[in-house]
Amino acid sequence: EAKGTEFKYTERDVMLYNLGIGAKRTDLRYIFEGNDEFQVIPTFGVIPPFDAELPYNLDDLVPNFSPMMLLHGEQYLEVRKYPIPTAARLISKGKLLEVVDKGNAAVVKSGVTTVNAETGEEIFYNEMTVFLRGCGGFGGQKKPADRGASTAANKPPTRLPDVVVEEKTTEEQAALYRLSGDYNPLHVDPAFAKMGGFKQPILHGLCFFGIAGKAVYEKFGAFKNIKVRFAGTVMPGQTLVTEMWKEGNKVIFQTKVKETGKLAIGGAAAELVEGEGKL
């Protein structure tokens, strides 16, 4: 296990994050520190661990590693304590969970626990999965382990969705979102994106995770955990359609790109905090 990495944030970082995942000027609770209900959208929990030091190098884990071929595959977030502070000093500690060999690709999963630096209280737990194109075939385990909510299939029911939320991203979405800490050039530099096999820079997975998570939060209330698989890429400017089904305490959801009809997020669900569930 690595030693902890500090992450310090202020109200300004909260507003920047909220704007990065589509908060509007009329959403005063997200964009104005003077509002009585000023808050950070709970998907923010993926930000403090993002730069956490991990006790390994991808180069040492898989053959042919190249940052240009790295895609975000899945994300699982637990919010272990509400309300989420709008300014704090946190410490994140990461560990390697598993390396899976998909033949062409490798899948590497890390787990990061984030605590309040002053109180030691756990605030967030994340599992982040990266999909490394061209890094498979090394004879590793073929299937990921069952990790409960973090790996659940979350197949949508056959009925029509209970709620649908449409949100257009802006052409500047990735340029804005990156200021919350993911400076991967894949999202803004056309030359880098091209080397990674894309015609133009693609949107951060965690940006459209935030947009979908915001829709779940606004329609159903606070969640204790949320899991997504990034099933397809999104270009800044495209419109996201998030379909949600409430199944007991759980909201199963998926997000499609309106312009292409293709799935961007699949296998996704959020388990609501007891007593929530507005619908």
Residue among 209, 221, 216, 213 nearest 83 (CA): 221
Task: Determine the Cα–Cα distance for residues 13 and 71; give it in Å rounded to an integer.
Answer: 25
Q: Give Cβ neighbours of residue 94 (< 8 Å, ≥ 6 apart).
A: 1, 2, 5, 49, 52, 53, 54, 55, 110, 111, 112
Q: Is 202 a catalytic residue?
A: yes
**Smaller CB separation from ligand HDC, 41 or 128:** 128
Q: How far is the CB of 271 from ligand HDC (least distance, A)?
A: 20
**Smaller CB separation from ligand HDC, 224 or 229:** 229
Task: Determine the Cα–Cα distance for residues 277 and 279; give it in Å rounded to an integer.
Answer: 6
Rg (CA), the chain: 18
Residue in this structure with the two tokens 């197949």, named with its chain if needed: 155
Task: Determine the Cα–Cα distance for residues 98 and 146; give it in Å rounded to an integer.
Answer: 11
Pick the catalytic residue from 205, 210, 266, 267: 205
**Smaller CB separation from ligand HDC, 128 or 241:** 128
Pick the catalytic residue from 45, 181, 187, 252: 187
Q: How far is the CB of 166 from ligand HDC (least distance, A)?
A: 20
Q: How far is the CB of 162 from ligand HDC (least distance, A)?
A: 25
Residues lying near ligand HDC in the complex (CB under 6 A) are found at: 71-74, 102, 107, 110, 128-131, 143, 182, 184, 186, 202, 204-205, 229-233
Q: Is 187 a catalytic residue?
A: yes
Q: Is 59 a catalytic residue?
A: no
Q: Which helix (H) or strand (E) holds 20?
A: helix 11-20
Q: How far is the CB of 178 from ligand HDC (least distance, A)?
A: 8
Q: Is 182 a catalytic residue?
A: yes
Just list the catalytic residues: 182, 187, 202, 205
